[in-house]
Amino acid sequence: MIGEIAAIAVAAILAITLHEAAHGFAARALGDDTAWRLGRVSLNPLRHVDPVGTLLVPGLLLVTQLATLGRVEAMFGWAKPVPVDIWRLRDPRWGMVLVAAAGPGINFALAFGFGLFAHVVTAADGVLPLVAADWLLRMAALSMLYNVILACFNLLPIPPLDGGRILVGLLPAPAARAVAGLERFGLLIVLGLIFLVPYAIPGFDPLGILMREVAFPVLRVIFTLSGHGGAV
């Protein structure tokens, strides 16, 4: 049980921390050093912790699922957003698109990297203790899963998710302003899609659809590309 919780925690922390750090690195490369000056371009997970989104909500989900189901079937949470001043970017419109895309991009890269890392662990058979090897393989598998889910979820075209900000940068100005205006309600929309819609419309689960139709197919592709035969 402790090993499983540790694997879940490490996989989730790496996925979220590097996602947020990637936004900051991209913004700095494109002209905005706001996050850099505030110390948010960091691989230190503590700098990206949101008390509610990173600790309370995932913690409650973890405890309740382990207590009731004996396993973890779904996790949800968020980190403290990295501050970006769009007007300090050299090209505000396309710069914001690239900054937003950097988060999901690093998650896809991490998923692929952990797929390769699993081969290294397997090749070390006989060198690593069996318990350690099993734990590393479990952590790698969870990391692949969490990174793909985090990337696909963040690419939903709803501001303030990354996909919403990418959409704002791609749309003509009038439509972009309309979509950007949804940002103040974005978190409520996302929470409604996850927790309210499945109860209001039986049989319609937006998060389940995202997992089945997008995240799992992407994960199968990454499994194949990293040499694991496409099995999830």
pLDDT in tens, 19-51: 999 999 999 999 999 998 988 888 888 888 888
The residue written with tokens 């996909």 in the block is: 163
Mean pLDDT within 87-106: 95
**Are 11 and 103 a contacting pair, CB within 8 Å?**
no
Give the per-residue pLDDT at 89.
94
Provide the sign of the torsion angle of the four alpha carbons 82, 159, 153, 8, taken in this order: positive
pTM for the complete prediction? 0.89
Three-class SS of residue 80?
Answer: coil
Active site residues: 20
Contact criterion met (CB below 8 Å) for 59 and 79: no
Cα separation, 149 vs 142, in Å, equals 10
Q: Please list, residue by residue across 186-225, b when 16 or more beta carbons sit within 10 angstroms of its beta carbon and e when fewer do.
A: eeebbeebbeeeeeeeeeebebeebbeebbbeebbebbee
